[in-house]
Amino acid sequence: MIPGISIYELLTVTSILFFIGVYGFITRKNLISILISVELILNASVINFVVINKYMYPDMLQGVLFSIFIIAVAAAETALAVSIIINLYRQINSVEVKDIETMKY
């Protein structure tokens, strides 16, 4: 609970964050940028968890705990994604999306 700031303002911020992530995910051509965008989307949802927990159910902790859980999973997932990208780079010397289209159709 931050005095003077209502839940709507915070949710607006997370929504903006979310859509920035979506926009980045759709438009970026570089795998690293796409990964960062995915992280933005994830973080937007994590913040949502915390905000809703704090503003609507102040005497409970589930939302906070869940966000910690998501952060842990996200870390693992990021590590996995980065390792895939590094392997890809070793194979084809590129991390551009357009270079890994061979399995289309």
> Is residue 101 close enough to count as binding another protein by CB under 8 A?
yes
The first and second tokens of residue 85, run together, are 């990208």
Separation between Cα atoms, residue 65 and residue 60, nearest integer Å: 10
Residue pair 40/21 in contact by the 8 Å Cβ criterion:
yes
> Is residue 90 close enough to count as binding another protein by CB under 8 A?
no
What's the burial of 29, exposed, middle or buried (CB within 10 Å: 0-12/13-18/19+)? exposed
> Is residue 66 close enough to count as binding another protein by CB under 8 A?
no
Q: Quick one: which of 97, 103, 95 has its CA closest to 29? A: 97
Binding to another protein, residues 8-37 (CB under 8 A): 22, 25-28, 34
Q: Closest CB to another protein among 34 and 46?
A: 34
Smallest separation, CB 62 to another protein (Å): 26
CA 88 to mean position of chain CA atoms: 22
Number of residues that bind another protein (CB under 8 A): 11
Smallest separation, CB 98 to another protein (Å): 9
Instruction: Enumerate binding residues for another protein (CB under 8 A).
Output: 22, 25-28, 34, 97, 101, 103-105
